[in-house]
Amino acid sequence: MSDLEAFRTRGHAWLESVAPTFGRDARTGLSVEDDLALGRRYQAAKFDAGFAGINWPTEWGGQGLGHLEKIAFDAAEMNFGMPNGYFGISLGMPIPVLMRFGSDKAWAKERVLAALKGEEIWCQLFSEPSGGSDLAALRTRAEPDGNGWKMTGQKLWTSWAQYSDYGVIVARTDPTVPKHKGLTYFWVDMKAPGVDVRPIKLAGGDSHVNEVFFDDVKLTDDQRMSPVGEGFGVALTTLMIERYVATDSAGFGPPIELFVDLAREAEINERPAIEDGRIRSAIARNYAMRAGLEAITRRAMMMMEAGMQPGPEGSLNKLVAVRSRQKLSELAMDLVGTSDLAFDPHASTKSDWATSWLNAPTGRIAGGSDETLLNTIAEKILGLPQDHRPDKGIPFNQIPA
């Protein structure tokens, strides 16, 4: 048995042993607060068992293993429906960025460990009302204030901000230079005076995204994670990490096996749906697509392990996976028929077709909209001419708003 196989077996055995305490059935019917508390206990147990920070360096509390081990564990973990969603962004982007760009800060190790054990949560404060797809258009500003900074502005769609202790944030520190050049990257204490978090309810019924207002929030210069005016580069690194951390060939919807089970039970013209050519074709196309995406992710992980930068093909992942999840969920709902489509506020996007379908549109926006990803594919993979950029090179404060 290879080392990877041995790790997969060990991980699966551990997940199976804790599933009755933390898994899908244990979570059914819990309030968000109770589920989060269960999630914190799960994260601590995962740390103690040696399955947290699988591919992180040991000096940061990780296991020092490879990216392939991490993908193997993540896939198994997803199937058990563990309460790990609260930590996905925290451990996915802000903390890896902290390890990379804040490693000179004395407090960084303590924060990383606390996040890895689920004691603290970090959010990612990038998007704003006027800066989403075009992140460099953001307007939250940080001005020099004594030895530090004073920040004012508004962020939008910040996942889990209401439960976060800290966040990474990009703010404009110089409006007199072109938009990409006047940004600086900081971390912020979400409990600091002047921070106001207001949850937003989504169509699927949950409120994990928020508006966050900053009113003269004080930052020390030690909270700066990039040279002044060079925050866009650190933000791009964060987004590159996101392309590969946030991958699931099922588009964060149900596994294909669940659709096959449904097609065996449901009927078309009084015959099992699985015998229908269109259903078989949908299953085959979906299977091939998922296998292709998994191969792209595996290749990118192996490149990273070899010290290389993966290419822009990561943009394909979310675009293709979430679109096909939406289509497959729609087909599944057609097969189920109206009798089984009651809305269940506790259902998971990984196991309930209606919930998967209802939440799919947010997946086509979060982490980069379909259109933005299509632009990246057109320009970076296909080498087509650049999108029209009328504000290129113009000082930010001279761009009409």
Ligand X SMILES: Cc1cc2nc3c(=O)[nH]c(=O)nc-3n(C[C@H](O)[C@H](O)[C@H](O)COP(=O)(O)OP(=O)(O)OC[C@H]3O[C@@H](n4cnc5c(N)ncnc54)[C@H](O)[C@@H]3O)c2cc1C
Residues that bind ligand X (CB under 6 A): 89, 123-127, 132-133, 157-159, 209, 362, 365-369, 371-372, 375, 387
Residue 100 token pair: 């990379």
Compute the residue count for the chain.
Answer: 401
Least distance CB 223 / ligand X (angstroms): 18
Least distance CB 132 / ligand X (angstroms): 2
Phi, psi for 141 (deg, rounded to 5): -120, 145
Residue whose CB is less far from ligand X, 49 or 154: 154
Give Cα separations from 216 to 219, 280, 398 (angstroms): 9, 59, 24
- 116: closest CA among 55, 198, 191, 26? 55
Quote the DSSP letter at residue 128. B
Least distance CB 153 / ligand X (angstroms): 13
CB 154 within 8 A of CB 212: yes
Least distance CB 396 / ligand X (angstroms): 17
CB 286 within 8 A of CB 324: yes
Count the Cβ atoms, other than its own, within 10 Å of residue 262: 19
CB 101 within 8 A of CB 234: yes
Least distance CB 86 / ligand X (angstroms): 12
Least distance CB 273 / ligand X (angstroms): 32
3-state secondary structure of 130: coil
Residue whose CB is less far from ligand X, 171 or 331: 171
- 225: closest CA among 235, 236, 215, 212? 235
Least distance CB 169 / ligand X (angstroms): 9
Partners of 247 in the β-ladder: none
Helices (H), 135-206: none
Residue whose CB is less far from ligand X, 8 or 180: 180
Residue whose CB is less far from ligand X, 89 or 263: 89
- Rounded to whole angstroms, how far apart are CA atoms 75 and 124? 24
Residue whose CB is less far from ligand X, 168 or 331: 168
Name the residue whose CB lies closest to ligand X.
132
Residue whose CB is less far from ligand X, 8 or 318: 318
Sign of torsion over alpha carbons 63, 65, 71, 75: negative
Least distance CB 10 / ligand X (angstroms): 32
3-state secondary structure of 325: helix
Least distance CB 47 / ligand X (angstroms): 23
Residue 396 token pair: 């930010």
Residue whose CB is less far from ligand X, 23 or 153: 153
Residue whose CB is less far from ligand X, 133 or 397: 133
Residue 243 carries which side chain, given as an amino acid letter?
Answer: R
Residue whose CB is less far from ligand X, 132 or 310: 132
3-state secondary structure of 71: helix
Least distance CB 247 / ligand X (angstroms): 16
Give Cα separations from 314 to 23, 48, 52, 363, 374 (angstroms): 30, 32, 24, 15, 12
Give Cα separations from 282 to 271, 275, 287 (angstroms): 17, 12, 9
Residue whose CB is less far from ligand X, 50 or 132: 132
* Exposure of 113 in the CB half-sphere (CA atoms within 13 A): 10
